[in-house]
């Protein structure tokens, strides 16, 4: 019997994060079959979807003379400047075509505010503006989360740490995630998740 208090949170398995996409994560598509199979073990499946306006300020194209993967300062702190990706309504923003989207009870879109990026499924990058996911989980009686998806060191990491900080029991299935590993970001993310009380499985 499936545990009604334990949900599967699938992070950003979108075309732009898969091979051939604008911000491709190596082997990002390789995790899709495993995620699909894992969905059958959970009563509740939630998908997150990066959903940026075309002029989002996290895009390097919005900063004259700046290149993708450079760091800049935003009012809320350091921000990686990304290639344009997951633009609302584009093919790149769509879920990977092999993902069992029909199993999702909730699709949470994030990163739609032009002036602030959103890695976490729970908060924008200012760490205070909520997405509403916490309230959804609380009212559904969900207390435990298993996270999978893209990318381990950014959106999965931030979501897992925030969930643990909010008091959820959090597991990250590393075999069903893939990382960008930008300048040592994967090792740093793994350390940070462990320190936050996240189980790395």
- The catalytic site residues sit at 12, 110, 155
**Which two tokens mark 197?**
């009380």
Q: Are strands 106-110 and 77-80 parallel, antiparallel or unpaired?
A: unpaired
**Which two tokens mark 79?**
């921000």
| Positive or negative torsion for Cα 87, 129, 74, 155 | negative
Tell me the chain's radius of gyration from C-alpha atoms.
16
Paired with 95 in beta bridges are 14
For residue 44, give the nearest of 1, 8, 95 by alpha carbon: 8
For residue 32, give the nearest of 99, 101, 105 by alpha carbon: 99
Residues 170 and 199 sit within 8 Å (Cβ to Cβ): yes
**Which two tokens mark 67?**
């290149």
């Amino acid at each position: 019997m499936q545990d009604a208090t334990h949900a599967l949170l699938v992070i950003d398995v979108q075309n732009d994060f898969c091979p051939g996409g604008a911000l491709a994560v190596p082997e990002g598509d390789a995790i899709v079959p495993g995620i699909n199979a894992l969905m059958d073990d959970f009563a509740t499946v939630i998908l997150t979807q990066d959903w940026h306006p075309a002029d989002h300020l996290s895009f390097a194209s919005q900063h004259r003379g700046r290149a993708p993967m450079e760091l800049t300062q935003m009012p809320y702190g350091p921000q990686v400047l990304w290639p344009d990706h997951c633009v609302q309504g584009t093919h790149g923003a769509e879920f990977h075509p092999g993902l069992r989207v029909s199993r999702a009870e909730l699709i949470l879109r994030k990163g739609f505010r032009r002036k602030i990026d959103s890695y976490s499924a729970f908060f924008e990058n200012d760490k205070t503006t909520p997405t509403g996911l916490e309230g959804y989980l609380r009212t559904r009686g969900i207390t435990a989360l298993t996270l999978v998806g893209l990318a381990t060191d950014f959106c999965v990491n931030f979501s897992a740490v925030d969930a643990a900080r909010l008091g959820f029991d959090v597991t990250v299935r590393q075999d069903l995630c893939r990382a960008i590993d930008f300048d040592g970001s994967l090792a740093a993310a793994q350390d940070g998740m462990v320190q936050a009380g996240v189980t790395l499985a």
